Structure 1
Amino acid sequence: MFPQTATTAGIAGRQRRPSAIAGYEDWPGYAADNPYRPASKDARLLAGALGVPAVTPGTAITVDWEVEDNNVVTSRLSWQTGFGPGTSAWLLRPTSIAGPLPGLLALHCHGGIKSHGAERLVGIPAEAPRHDGGTTSRPGLGPLPPGLQAKLYGGRPLATWLARQGFAVLAHDAFMWGSRRFHLDPLPYRTAHWLDGQEALWREAGVVPSPAERYNAAAAAHEETVAKAATLLGSTIAGTVAHDDLTALGVLASLPGVDAGRLGCIGFSGGGGRAMVLAALSPQIRSYVVACMMTTFESLLPAYVDAHSWLLHSSGLPRLGGLPDLAARSTADAFLLQYGLRDELFPEDGMRDADARLLAAAPGRYSGSFWNEGHVFTPAMQEEAAAFLASHLMAEQPSTASARTAS
């Protein structure tokens, strides 16, 4: 479990400096020896800029449990990506539709919550085995922090709802989140020093944080350390997350009952950034939706650069252009970007400029919509997104898996 206190005195008493990447000691060797090499030049340039590790072929998938509830079959899956802790994921399928289904990856946001990952997108059936962010090899951190779905997703379990719209939906924990989180017991030195201050604030306010709250506070500080480690490996946080997303895409394409020729992805905030990267790396993505994750890099300076995590800030990405260039880089048939005019994380001029650039760069493929909303993915936005994806992924007869292949 996560340590109850973290003090500099405790640090001083240790005889050995703790690992700063605990749980991922095999990450350096894997990343150094296995770069991702897509077939297309554009995808290779992006993979090189982000330092994406290669995907291990033939991922073995375990079905941990499966429950049918309210016209949706929810299956909890697990697999090993090649380094670090194993991955937990949820597959959601409608019970009322037969035949191969179009597949969607539902990519969870950052949200400042790393104790849990894709669970924020899933309506866990009441009769399902209790899930608390843990795995069979490692205890969890309790239930999903309350209010997260309500605050960011309008109270709707997005992946479960999308399954009811006729998609086979896979939602997985990404690098740094949930089952793929770092082990922070004992705390690395720099993270422990930072948490000392937070612990003092909690004591002064009379707050007794939950294990998940304490972990998330430590993980926020630890993200700086993870970014440093990735830099030493010639990688980035976004590139390592992309490795996990490419692995999940391969899992989705391999599942029975999924049409591998009709795959898409959807994400809000950091999940939207993940969707753009994944679509630019893999030609298997035929359509995708990004909610509240688009601007120009120029607009982030000077006031908005501190509004975002290292998932957005990758040093090699500006050499290939900005976020609009990243979105247009994909070979997807069509993609939708949704903007929140009251989004506190992006200036309106940056969003407007990005929209204009995309209209010029990807005519006929790009659609944009502006909403009088903040940094949220409301049910109305979700309904527009689902209709957009359905129009591009459900309008055809089931295709063969060979229609598009992973590069």
Structure 2
Amino acid sequence: MKKEPSTPAQAPQSGSRRRFMKSSLGWTLSLPLLADLSPFAYSPPSFPTHNTAMLASDDSKSIIGPYGRWAASLRPDPPTLSLRATPRKKLSTWKKEALAKVKELMASPPLGVPATVTVEKKYTYDGLDMEELSWQLPYGRPTKALLLKPEGTSKPLPGILALHDHSGEKYYGYAKITRTSDQQDRHMQEHQAGYYGGIAWANEMAKRGYVVLVPDAFLFGSRRVYYEDVEGISWGMTKTNNRSDAEISSQEDINTYNAWASDHEHVVSKSLFCAGTTWPGVVLAEDQAALTILSQRSDVDANRLGCAGLSGGGLRTVYLAGLDERIRCAVSVGFMSTWNDFLLHKAYTHTWMVYTPLLPNYLEFPEILGLRAPLPVMVQSNNQDRLYTLPEMQKADAILREVYDLAKASDAYQGRFYDGDHKFDATMQADAFAWFDRWLG
């Protein structure tokens, strides 16, 4: 990848948010067109931006050419296990059938509960008690996580599983949404300035009276794949040849690793398919393990658990909150649209973490989250978010409203739209925090 001079980020126009068109949630395409995009300063994409009106007027146009509209016609509408397809079906019956099918297709591997959670370090910062934790799953290196709670907490508080984003940054994990000292990593400062209005939102959530756990996701941070772990493939990137992960020492090295990890996504996904599982299934299993760890703490009220996240964290929220009723309240940010939006317009802007094979035959994408009805959920979207088309985001919102109406729980769903690009800024955070306070506080 060509290295261009970097410029400091300034919220809300920082390179961290602006560069999402380079890797968005983790592009898996090795396109020469990406070579000239700076990792810090946004440059307009050199490929055409899809126009929904154009696509509507010319059915031959899609990201897979003339095959798009044909492919979109293969699925039933509504899908066969949609509550909208059988609106008179008893809610509990529908949920039992749909959940069983989704879990079958996701094929999450059995993980069990980590036998030991190790407290690596304890300290207090900015009014919060912090614990750096680790636990060993049946595979891979130990998962690292950060736990935050109000200083001096003694009585059980509601717990939040805070889910970090993807953003094409696999080198980092929980650091994306936390702050542990005044000497914060400069790149993470830029990241938070761009996506989060300069706010470490997990910290702010904890200050409101929550115990917040932020684990590294599968293939991020402590769970990432190291260079030296891989053999038999070459990406033609001399920067990575004969190097070890321990030799990563500069931001340029980290950018190179992130580009390598992005290219590696399709390999990971294919390999997981060959193993009889799926990427969403593995991520869900690991997030559920983290949720169990959170729920078993003496300082957490296990009956008041929630989760939230932006972008890749919003995607993780869709699956976790949709399939695990221990999540009593959820906020999904910057990840809500329809299967047709991915199929016809935007699949190339998204990670392989999204896709569960054959699931679109049974549920529309927002209906995965709708499986939690009547439990409360808020979905936040940005009107100018270039990872989606606005009409399809609006359609997804309408579908979720209909599901909650059919579940006789209209007040438990809120879909909110904000002006701006892909983000979870201070205004959105305030709305999300108030939603948690309403249902869990």
Fold in common (TM above 0.5): yes
Matches within 5 A, 1:57-72: 57-72=113-128
Structure 2 regions of 5+ residues with no counterpart? 1-94, 242-249
CA distance in 2, matches of 1:301, 1:319: 13
**Counterpart for residue 293 of structure 1:** 335
Matches within 5 A, 1:133-282: 145=188, 147-185=190-228, 187-190=230-233, 192-196=234-238, 210-282=252-324
Are the aligned partners of 2:114 and 2:135 in contact in 1 as well (CA < 8 Å)? no
Q: 2:144 aligns with which of 68, 85, 88?
A: 88
CA distance in 2, matches of 1:359, 1:390: 22
Are the aligned partners of 2:146 and 2:213 in contact in 1 as well (CA < 8 Å)? yes
Are the aligned partners of 1:227 and 1:236 in contact in 2 as well (CA < 8 Å)? yes
CA distance in 2, matches of 1:368, 1:238: 23
Q: 1:306 aligns with which of 348, 355, 379?
A: 348
CA distance in 2, matches of 1:183, 1:61: 23
CA distance in 1, matches of 2:236, 2:229: 14
Secondary structure in 2 aligned to 1:161? Answer: helix
RMSD of the alignment, in Å? 2.2
Per-residue deviation, 1:83: 1.2
Per-residue deviation, 1:44: 3.1
**Counterpart for residue 351 of structure 1:** 393
**Counterpart for residue 123 of structure 1:** 179
CA distance in 2, matches of 1:209, 1:90: 23
Are the aligned partners of 1:288 and 1:332 in contact in 2 as well (CA < 8 Å)? no
Secondary structure in 2 aligned to 1:185? Answer: helix
Distance 1:238 1:194, change over 3 A: farther
**Counterpart for residue 15 of structure 1:** none
Matches within 5 A, 1:317-332: 317-331=359-373
CA distance in 1, matches of 2:169, 2:421: 19
Per-residue deviation, 1:194: 4.3
> TM-score, normalised on structure 2?
0.72
Per-residue deviation, 1:314: 2.4
Per-residue deviation, 1:223: 0.8
Q: 1:371 aligns with which of 418, 421, 433?
A: 418
Structure 1 regions of 5+ residues with no counterpart? 1-38, 131-141, 200-207, 395-407
Per-residue deviation, 1:145: 4.9
**Counterpart for residue 11 of structure 1:** none
**Counterpart for residue 427 of structure 2:** 380
Is residue 315 of structure 1 aligned with residue 362 of structure 2? no
Distance 1:319 1:374, change over 3 A: same
Write the deviation string for residues 5-30 of structure 1: whole angstroms up to 9, x where unpaired: xxxxxxxxxxxxxxxxxxxxxxxxxx
Moved over 6 A (4+): none
Matches within 5 A, 1:8-47: 40-47=96-103
Per-residue deviation, 1:180: 0.5
Identity of aligned residues (%): 31
